[in-house]
Amino acid sequence: MLGMSRLFLSWFVVAAAVGCSSPAGEPAPSSPRAAPSSPPPTARGDVPPRFDLDHGVVVVVTDAGEQRFRVEVAAKDEERQRGLMYRDHLDDDEGMIFLFERQQQLSFWMKNTWIPLDMLFIDEDLKVLGIVENAEPLTLSGRSVAGRSRFVLELKGGTSSSLGLRAGQSVRFEGIDAALWQKGNP
């Protein structure tokens, strides 16, 4: 019986350690987000304060015209890692733009993210590469699209479908420091 207890304890320690990182051989998601075993904090004091982020506008050019989104700008590692965690609401025209220094295969998860999100993966030529719609909250599943992107726009879940956002559409940034996103800038 003692052997079974040790075996269970060993299994529990290994399972706990694996739950805190990416599966072996897989890179960690670019924006770490969720643990299904981590329910939302129940007391407001459990929620860390938000970063004081820059703001701007992301415009997506659709067949029906321009769709404008007021965004928070996540350009530093700690800002990208926090993302939209602990939010219980996003307005229809709100979101967050994640800016990376170079194009790469990006993968996001939903750690401590309480609401479903649409994720628009955008390449350095400011074209929508692909969209993940209605990403399930509070999960560790990686979300990505085929190909390399440099930016990710997160919006309220369902926004892409309701506004006709799709791959291939052009994007424009307004009021966002050009040094953070212009092609060729590291």
pLDDT tens digit string along 34-89?
334 444 444 445 778 788 899 999 999 999 999 999 999 999 999 999 999 999 99
The answer to the question of residue 80 being in a domain is yes
Q: How far apart are CA 102 and CA 145, in angstroms?
A: 16
Structural domain includes residue 94 = yes
Q: How far apart are CA 151 and CA 71, in angstroms?
A: 13
Q: Is residue 12 part of a domain?
A: no
Lowest mean pLDDT across 6-15, 65-74, 130-139, 173-182: 6-15
Q: Domain residues for 68?
A: 28-180
**C-alpha to C-alpha distance for 62 and 101, rounded to whole angstroms:** 26
- Whether the model clears a pTM of 0.85, i.e. scores above it, the answer is no
Does some domain include residue 54? yes
- Mean pLDDT over 126-135 rounds to 98
Within-domain flag for 32: yes
Residues 6 or more apart whose Cβ sits within 8 Å of residue 133:
118, 157, 158, 160, 161
Residue 44 maps to which CATH number?
2.60.120.1140
Q: Confirm whether 1 is domain-assigned.
A: no
Number of domains the chain contains:
1
